[in-house]
Amino acid sequence: MGVRQWIEGWPVYRQWTEKDPSGRGAAAKSRRSDSLRPRTDQADRVVKSICPYCAVGCGQNVYVSGEQVTQIEGDPDSPVSRGRLCPKGAASLQLTTGSAREHQVLYRRPYGTEWEPLDLDTAMDMIAERTIASRERGWQWEVDGARTRRTLGFASLGGATLDNEENYLIKKLFTALGAVQIENQARV
Amino acid sequence: MTTARTPVDPAGDSGYADHPPRMGFFTDTTVCIGCKACEVACKEWNAVPEDGLDLTGMSYDNTVGLGADTWRHVAFIEQRKPIGRQDPGLHHDQDVLTMAEHGTATQPPEAGMTPTTPGAGDDFRWLMASDVCKHCTHAACLDVCPTGSLFRTEFGTVVVQEDICNGCGYCIPACPYGVIDQRKDDGRAWKCTLCYDRLGDGLEPACAKACPTDSIQFGPLDELRERAGRRVEQLHEAGVPEARLYGADPDDGVGGDGAFFLLLDEPEVYGFPPDPVVTTRDLPAMWRHVASAAATLAAGAVAAFLGARKGR
Amino acid sequence: MGTSFGRGGATTFQQDLANSDCIVIQGSNMAECHPVGFQWVMEAKARGAKVIHVDPRFTRTSALADIHVPLRAGSDIAFLGGIINYVLEHEKYFREYMLAYTNAATIVNERFAGADELDGVFSGLDRERRSYDVSTWQYEGAEVQAASGKRDQLWAERTRHGVRQSGRGEAHGSGGAEIGTEPRTDETLEHPRCVFQILKRHFARYTPERVEEICGVPREKFLQVCELLTENSGRERTSAFAYAVGWTQHTVGVQYIRTAGILQALLGNIGRPGGGILALRGHASIQGSTDIPTLFNLLPGYIPMPHAHTNEDLATFVEAESAQKGYWGNMKSYLVSLLKAWWGPAATPDNEFRFDYLPRLTGSHSTYETVLEQLDGTCNGYFLMGENPAVGSANAKMQRLGMAALDWLVVRDFSLIESATWWQDGPEIETGELRTEDIATEVFFLPAAAHTEKDGSFTNTQRLLQWHHQAVEPEGDARSDLWFIYHLGRRIREKLAAAARDGTRKEADAERDRPVLDLTWDYPTKGRHAEPEAEAVLAEINGWNADAEPLSTYEQLKDDGSTACGCWIYCGVYAEGVNQAARRKPGTEQNWVASEWAWAWPLNRRILYNRASADPDGKPWSERKAYVWWDAEQEKWTGHDIPDFKATKAPDFEPEEGAKGPDALRGTDAFIMQADGKAWLYVPAGLTDGPLPTHYEPHESPFANLLYGQQRNPVRQLLRHENNRFQPSDGQPGADVFPYVLTTYRLTEHHTAGGMSRWQPYLAELQPELFCEISPELATERGLEHLGWATIVTARTAIEARVLVTDRVSPLRVQGRTLHQVGVPYHWGPNGLSTGDAVNELASMALDPNTHIQEVKALTCDIRPGRRPRGPERVELVERYQREAGITDETGTEV
């Protein structure tokens, strides 16, 4: 910072030159305050979304800068929510970008006392193997003489927080595998 | 009513020749549902740290009050009064702070003496109100700030500049509402900025934007005062005589607030001071007396300015 | 809802609440649990509407209501039944509406006997099997069954073999599919067996005096509600109801909603602006997860899952499950199109479109039965996707014990929720009931992607499908559930196909694997994670014709295999190849119906049954409440919304003799999914526990049923297990050991079982730990101190909570006694930032027989000062209580 700039930034100087006799207004405004812009202003894009908490279905605008979500706010265009959010919806940024989220597959071996990291590919393969095995173990061609063509070997719980497309594939795959114990929070 | 007999233009008086209208909050507590979206939206936008995980027992209020890490605060008041209408209640005989600590419910030993009418449920109400910095017309925090960290914006609001504040703490006892506060880990003073960064871009503050029932309304203060006046009249007509405005009167002890409230009871019940006065009321007169000693003043300012720079 | 009106979804949309003249919120704490939706209640209030909140506690909803009516948890049917009685007795019903659009005039067969005659049960009860022969509830005339001889046999078959227990209540969502020809009616409403007269007799005993004694609601207050509701219903005015899990989570939950359904139909509030029943769902896509069900008893679009004993081939299944009249008459088209979507070219007319690929049910396979199967070793693998049963399910301990018996468990979530860590630090580790080193379960924790990291649609509480676009790629190993299930399926198919090529599989194995290998499973993928295209899945859900062109309505579906459609009620969401759920025309540029914002099922209709917003001649009932009407010049239905009716069917249309399906609907049959086109005041088919709602005491209650000798729902579903003991009710020895009523609920600041809120600092600080809410009177009675600790005990477990003494929970005067209620929010568990015991540990697995939903909204408990014991002493305390109350494996299991 040059001397001239330094003097110009000097509050008392500005107090007189900027006609701010109080010295607590325009004259006191810092360089940072002067250049302050909302971070949403710098977003590379605004992505339209829907709040993931309850079923009101509030519209959300997701602001992305440098492939990072920097802000989530209510979408004023939504006729349902008119841009408003509750505390949970307002905490969506913390939910999605906060430190509480895990990003590593963890594995607990039988009788193990601690978690171990596991790579995703291996985990997927192991889960596929186990699904096939449990399916076979619990297979019932018939029950009391009536054909059932099913397995009770594995079950699934979850869905009310998922997308329709996800539920659709869950139901489709597991039904084709013969599973019937497919449930979600609608009961809970 | 709040007819401005002494037109005050805080931004104009602070060197903003051509400035936008004074902006503020009108918080209509009669439609507040106590959801605390304002608290969270404020924190998300301003990256305010979490403020402790304590169950206070003060009804559903676990953030207790405004502070360095809570810039919006929702108060909850449980009262044995009818939901809709009632006579204005005066509670000067009660210590509201003690009451709040006990959750304001009837104390168990008294339960036998004043039993609730089983199933009636019409002699009870639950008041909720979202508090915030008042952005006073005459702001003592601003008056006492030696570094120029606190400043009056072109919107007439009062903002702490985090790049200037040196943590001297003078502003804290100056605030008649106990709003501004020092953050423990960095020592600097923090409070609501009325989302100064957002205002500059034509956005409304985060809390007002989130508020599900529009209890928090943001806009030009003149318009808000007019709207608030109409709302009070409407409530009076609807048989709610206790509805009243708080902080809307330009002739009160702080020259009126930039953030004012519609309440259903005495201000103390909500934790507001009944008659706030700018703690630096006599300061302007003093300053006029020393106006001739400009050199001294300038020297003082230089010292403070340098101090601020070192403090960073 | 489905049984009363035809579809299992909210009849209206949130914004339309603003048009209500009176809103009754009951079984819901809307301001706290749906705060942003509550703005529409506030909007109505600002326009002069009366807001009534009926709830055991004074909540943030009550604070904004005009009237709060505290009532005893578990007594809502008595309260609403009282209003129905008031409406009938004082002739406050909307007679013309009722005659035109409900089954009030329909005559019921003479085998039927009501709860008023049989002291609280209906005809057909088999006490041994704990089930009803529901055929005795049918409409008049054997011809209903005679039209299809086989169906009669199936019906008997069904009830004998317990297919009933497979939860037919939800199928069709659930418009009764069983009525064939036109039932007999009496438009004068005087026939003693017409629905109207049956209704009158049934509800006659629900007097204001009884309401007061049962619910603890003073007569004056009750009558005030009756007056407000009836004054604000009729031609010129409409009232709305909003409910949530405060109604569903009971052993007689469906009937709670039925009671409101009857009331709203009598008052003429269904299908009209400002009217309706708004079901408020708790999760972003809970409506979607029943529409496209991750539920055992349903296929997409409320088509029932086939059952083993009956429905063995496609033709029989369709004949048994579809209707003669109304849109369920086309069920075969919906089902065949689904089979085509799943099995594509492998599904042909010759092989019945692979109907035999569908696994068959043998009774209930709900999440609670699954736990028992885990414990007995039948079920040894478990996927948990975005669900935390170790906290959220009733008797959560059973859930953990079930998981401890598994071979493997997959948990997909954001954070290490209790359902992922129970083996390390669960309550049973602390009590010594389980030892980490002894638990064989292999646990996989897979981090899930957030909504901002994937494309997809949620179906909100008003049946609105809204698309959320991916904003960023998920980090690390986090993936969407779409990715997980798609790639899991891909790997399983590869492994099975490889085994088939090896020749290592036996013939039976090959037959078993065919449904998997024939499955259409070739979705395009994108990005560095090979994420399946969600829109391609949506396109399949929507369906296409033989030329692979997207369909625009389910009316286009065929039963010959020329169309494919993954969920018939969602058909149209991808009309013209456009993702209609992603439409975002601003609300401010449309009328309040906002038809161009996203897409609602069915066919973008926002108020269901809106034909009823016009009179039988097609004219609006009043100018003030005009919504959809018949335009005689253009010869079509028009209005503010899309008509929920065939657009060109005139009001005076009479079907031809022998017409079937939709063609059999008259111009006045506004309830187009119903087998008779009417709203059902009386439900002749589709429910397992009675054609009319009857007040039963909760499974565990400190009071006797004042209205009938029958204490509880005789067919409530009970799961017996040594860790799921039930408590004695009033009149049984030991009932006084659990003298208080406990109810569970949610807070604004947290979300369900806490997985998405207890880890968030900004939410955790707002409600930092578990508490219970009690009245000052109860605090005195039990020596409990504000902010002190309390231990709450049931026959299942003991938990501890901080005490909030508050006037918001006031004692009630019930049956001449003072009743104290204990309120506990259920969000907590030991993990995360904001912690506490899991409240649902206290509840038992006692379920609604239609929906298999647990009763957590009303049970009994004891409460005592101080923290709960640690270690084995916690179990000992519960055992001591069990002994004191004389609890055995028989307790509470009486019919």
Question: Is C3 in a helix, a strand, or coil?
Answer: helix
Asked whether the beta carbons of residue C765 and residue B80 sit closer than 8 angstroms, the reply is: no
Task: Identify each DSSP E strand in C533-588 by its residue range.
Answer: none
Please check whether residue B149 lies inside any domain of the structure: no
Q: Which residue of A has its CA nearest to B143?
A: A24
Asked whether the beta carbons of residue C812 and residue B119 sit closer than 8 angstroms, the reply is: yes
Asked whether the beta carbons of residue C442 and residue A130 sit closer than 8 angstroms, the reply is: yes
For residue B210, which residues of chain A lie inside 8 Å, CB to CB? 73-74, 84-86, 89-90
pLDDT of residue C144: 35
pLDDT of residue B279: 81
CA nearest neighbour of C694 among C264, C258, C261: C258
Please check whether residue B15 lies inside any domain of the structure: no
Give the 3-state secondary structure of C787-805.
CCEEEEECCCCEEEEEEEE
Q: What ipTM does the predicted assembly reach?
A: 0.96
Q: What contacts C2, CB < 8 A, 6 or more positions away?
A: C8, C169, C170, C172, C173, C174, C175, C302, C686
Quick one: average pLDDT of B228-248? 95
- Domain holding B215, by residue range, is 20-137+205-279
Asked whether the beta carbons of residue A87 and residue B203 sit closer than 8 angstroms, the reply is: no
In a mutational test of the A interface, the residue from C34, C292, C827 whose CB has the highest number of chain A CBs within 10 Å is C292
Domains and CATH numbers, chain C: 1-124+179-282+606-695 (3.40.228.10), 367-517 (3.40.50.740), 717-884 (2.40.40.20)
Asked whether the beta carbons of residue B44 and residue A93 sit closer than 8 angstroms, the reply is: yes
- Nearest-neighbour CA in chain B from C789: distance (Å): 12
pLDDT of residue C509: 87
Helices (DSSP H) in chain A: which residue ranges?
Answer: 3-8, 11-17, 31-34, 87-90, 92-97, 120-137, 164-176
Please check whether residue B284 lies inside any domain of the structure: no
Q: How far is CA B181 from CA A25, B83, C417, C841, in A?
A: 21, 35, 36, 42
Q: Within 10 A of C499 (CB to CB), how many other CB atoms are there?
A: 15
pLDDT of residue A13: 60
Is B45 touching A (CB cutoff 8 A)? yes
Asked whether the beta carbons of residue A90 and residue B153 sit closer than 8 angstroms, the reply is: no
Asked whether the beta carbons of residue B51 and residue C62 sit closer than 8 angstroms, the reply is: no
Question: Is C200 in a helix, a strand, or coil?
Answer: helix
Q: Token digits for C342? A: 């799943």
Quick one: average pLDDT of B281-289? 56
Question: Is C125 in a helix, a strand, or coil?
Answer: strand
Residue B9 annotated as binding site? no
Q: Which residue of A has its CA nearest to C594?
A: A79
In a mutational test of the C interface, the residue from B38, B60, B63, B71 whose CB has the highest number of chain C CBs within 10 Å is B60
Neighbours of chain A (3+ CB pairs under 8 A): B, C
Please check whether residue B227 lies inside any domain of the structure: yes
- CB-nearest to A50 from C386, C423, C458 is C458
Task: Tell me the pLDDT tens digit for each residue of A101-158.
Answer: 999 999 999 999 999 999 999 999 999 999 999 999 999 999 998 999 999 999 999 9
Asked whether the beta carbons of residue B108 and residue C779 sit closer than 8 angstroms, the reply is: yes
Is C583 touching A (CB cutoff 8 A)? no
The span from the CA of C337 to the CA of C557, in Å, is 7
C-alpha neighbours within 13 Å on the C-beta side of residue C819: 31
Please check whether residue B196 lies inside any domain of the structure: no
pLDDT of residue C181: 63
Q: What are the residue ranges in chain C where pLDDT is below 70?
A: 141-181, 310-311
Residue B296 annotated as binding site? no
User: Facing residues of C370 across strands?
Assistant: none
Task: Identify each DSSP E strand in C697-762 by its residue range.
Answer: 717-718, 740-745
User: Facing residues of C578 across strands?
Assistant: none
With tokens 């360095």, the residue in question is: B68
Q: How far is CA C655 from CA B91, C611, C661, C666, in A?
A: 72, 17, 10, 6
- Nearest-neighbour CA in chain C from A107: distance (Å): 5
- CB-nearest to C308 from A48, A148, A159 is A148
With tokens 């699934």, the residue in question is: A156
pLDDT over 70 at A26, yes or no:
yes
pLDDT of residue C320: 83
Domains and CATH numbers, chain A: 3-34 (no CATH), 39-97 (2.20.25.90), 121-183 (no CATH)
Please check whether residue B173 lies inside any domain of the structure: no
Q: What contacts B155, CB < 8 A, 6 or more positions away?
A: B11, B19, B20, B21, B22, B23, B194, B196, B199
pLDDT of residue A159: 84
Phi, psi dihedral angles at C317 (to 5 degrees): -60, -50
Please check whether residue B195 lies inside any domain of the structure: no
For residue B44, which residues of chain A lie inside 8 Å, CB to CB? 71-72, 90-91, 93-94
User: Facing residues of C629 across strands?
Assistant: C638
Q: Are C843 and C395 in contact (CB under 8 A)?
A: yes
Residue B211 annotated as binding site? yes
pLDDT of residue B99: 47
For residue C749, which residues of chain A lie inside 8 Å, CB to CB? 87-88
Is C763 touching B (CB cutoff 8 A)? yes
Is C779 touching B (CB cutoff 8 A)? yes
- CB-nearest to C284 from A51, A108, A136 is A51
The span from the CA of C197 to the CA of C192, in Å, is 6
For residue C806, which residues of chain B lie inside 8 Å, CB to CB? 59, 78, 103, 105
Asked whether the beta carbons of residue A104 and residue C477 sit closer than 8 angstroms, the reply is: yes
Q: How far is CA C108 from CA B258, C97, C254, C613, in A?
A: 68, 20, 22, 27
- CB-nearest to B298 from A12, A29, A72 is A12
**Between A and C, how many CB-CB pairs are < 8 A?**
509
The span from the CA of A130 to the CA of C492, in Å, is 10
In a mutational test of the A interface, the residue from C451, C453, C589 whose CB has the highest number of chain A CBs within 10 Å is C451
pLDDT over 90 at B88, yes or no:
no
Task: Tell me the pLDDT tens digit for each residue of C10-19.
Answer: 999 999 999 9
Q: Which residue of B has its CA nearest to A82?
A: B212
CA nearest neighbour of C129 among C715, C891, C724: C715
Neighbours of chain B (3+ CB pairs under 8 A): A, C
Please check whether residue B183 lies inside any domain of the structure: no
If one counts the domains in chain B, the total is 1
Q: Residue B91's domain is classified under what CATH number?
A: 3.30.70.20
pTM of the model: 0.93
